[in-house]
Structure 1
Amino acid sequence: MKKFKKVLVGLFAILLAVVATACSNKSNSSKDGYTPKSLTIQFVPSQAANKLEARAKPLEKMLSKKLGIPVHVSMSTDYNTVVEAMKSKKVDVGFLPPDGYVLAHKQGAADVLLQSQRYGVKQPGGKATNKLVDYYRAEILVKKGSKIKSWKDLKGKSISVQNPTSSAGYVFPIAELGEKGLNVPKDCKLVTVTGQDQAVLNVLNGDTDAAFVFEDARNTVKKDNPKIMDQVVPIYFTKPIPNDTIAVRSDMSKSFQKKLAKAFIEVGESKEGKKIIESIYSHEGYTKSKDSNFDIVRKYDKIIAKDKK
């Protein structure tokens, strides 16, 4: 009987060890929060998903070396998919645009860790500066010589816009002009296009009177049309729009968040890492961020939602 009890106790101890090992392989949860034993990162495609994934794959090795754990990157179909995956705790880190982050945070799925940096834009001329910034602006373009001299002249005119979730191509210009008294969806004719370059070309070709684009989208067609800066001109610039985010699961430990932020910043500062992030999203680096940076996005989203009613 004693021998049987010893065997039983031994088996129970082995079982506990197996369970503990399985749990520790998956994550390490404590009062400080969730600390992953392997890190899953998901991107929102800005180009062909298969090409983007191939370009992002080298990040696995770089981050794994810095973090000391396996890192896996994958592509989503859109930012809503990333939000749902983070909410269900299947993804630890999401590269999310401002609206995507605001949605994820509202649902308790994510907190902002970092914001991407790009070189600023200098006007007139739309040339890049040598200063890294964590924001950009939207601009309203018209054809040079147009009778449209300011936003006040847009009433009754046709405007090329992006889909309603686009910060620069829809949300920010419409929200700001709405605050000034112009209800763009009702007072203007909106023409939805795919791609900022197409919006610029629509103005150039006279297909629409104006376009809502990011500053300075004219550069997207400059290679094929070197004179575009003189042919199409901006008449309005919005307030700064926060750059894309690197967001993390809301239950991730502060200590791991600090370690992860350091790793991403170092990747962006290295020659090899900068080349990778430039090829994925045209990011030039990363800087620390806070949730309040996105209050303006929340404000403008509410204005847009109100206008739709």
Structure 2
Amino acid sequence: MKRLLSTMVLIGLFAVTGCQFKKDALGTEKNPIKFHLVPAVDAKVLTDNAKVLKEYLEKNTPYKYEITIPQSFVAVVEAFGTKRADVAAINTYGYYLAHKQYGAEARLTVIRYGSATYQSQFLARADSKIKTLRDLAGKKIAFVDPASTSGYLLPLKTLKDLKIEPKDIVFAMKHDSVVTMIYQRQVDAGATYYSPPQNGQIEDARRLVKTQYPDVEQKVKIIELSEPIPNDPIAFRKDMPEEMKEKIVDTLLQFAATDEGKKAIDLMLGATNFKKASDSDYDTVREMLRTLAPEGK
């Protein structure tokens, strides 16, 4: 009788546990797929368009989603390590860290105006004596943030390759702030992201301050561009089921082909499309970072 009771208890426990596992499987109401968006634009813009993305994903895949906007890309990286992030639109340097530390996998790369790569730009006042990168030696230069790929790491590599040593550097923390500092002559030059003009309109970081400084195109000029590196990826947690990854990737590609999708990814990510990608596409980024920190840090 004792053995029978013990067996029945065990069967009951397995049954309950099995039901619980089934109920809380990834992609269900109680355990939705956690999709993170790195805060790069206005929070309300991200929130409003995240709703559009969530509705489309839930309508076109068999899964439920929770789309969140962490405080920084560092929070997204750590979330991959604790399984609080399943999918994330993350910046290039953040992806480098997420893959290195937790094995996150790039499955899509954002496309911006037909290009899967991007460059940094070096800017200076049009009325200054700075004409080439060599002229930056001994000058005060503004960068964005120590963790910004286009606003620091990539232009830093460009300067190191040419053995150009600035006199002083400052971090403005935002791309538009770098442009403003140059415009106001607070620094001699600066580095920000670059995007090629579209339909006769600038799309690089100078456009961010055109409302405040309508003549910024005439007053602040591009000195030179860096080498290109891959655009930001959409990354997935390493141990997510492969079938689930493929379904989400295909659905995001379909979303980007719709009118509402085009508008949403433009407002959220500054992107015009996606393309399938793999981790090896970001080998050039790893090589760049090794060049900057050969000791592997």
Identity of aligned residues (%): 30
Check conservation: 2:80, 2:102, Cα contact below 8 A. no
Q: Pick from 234, 246, 250: which aligns with 1:262?
A: 250
RMSD value, Cα? 2.4
C-alpha displacement of 1:241: 2.7
Q: Pick from 54, 78, 84: which aligns with 2:78?
A: 84
Matches within 5 A, 1:1-309: 5=4, 12-27=10-25, 36-37=27-28, 38-49=32-43, 52-119=46-113, 132-183=114-165, 187-215=166-194, 216-305=204-293
Number of equivalent positions: 284
Check conservation: 1:83, 1:109, Cα contact below 8 A. no
Find the aligned partners of 1:54 and 1:270 in 2 and give their Cα distance. Answer: 17
Q: 1:51 to 1:235 in 2, by over 3 A?
A: closer
Write 1 or 2 for the structure with the bigger share of strand: 1
Check conservation: 1:165, 1:171, Cα contact below 8 A. yes
For structure 2, the 5+ residue unaligned runs are 195-203
Find the aligned partners of 2:43 and 2:207 in 1 and give their Cα distance. Answer: 24
C-alpha displacement of 1:201: 2.2
C-alpha displacement of 1:229: 2.0
Q: 1:16 to 1:221 in 2, by over 3 A?
A: same
Check conservation: 2:146, 2:171, Cα contact below 8 A. no
C-alpha displacement of 1:70: 1.0
Q: 1:26 is aligned with what amino acid?
A: D
Q: 1:284 is aligned with what amino acid?
A: T
Find the aligned partners of 1:177 and 1:71 in 2 and give their Cα distance. Answer: 43
Q: Name the TM-score, length of structure 2 as normaliser.
A: 0.87
Q: 1:117 is aligned with what amino acid?
A: I
Check conservation: 1:111, 1:248, Cα contact below 8 A. yes
Check conservation: 1:167, 1:241, Cα contact below 8 A. no
Q: Name the TM-score, length of structure 1 as normaliser.
A: 0.84
C-alpha displacement of 1:134: 1.6
Q: 2:21 is aligned with what amino acid?
A: C
C-alpha displacement of 1:226: 3.6
Any idea what the Cα deviations from partners look like across 1:27-64, whole Å, max 9, x if unmatched?
A: 3xxxxxxx654311112211354653343123222111
Q: Secondary structure at the match of 2:112?
A: strand
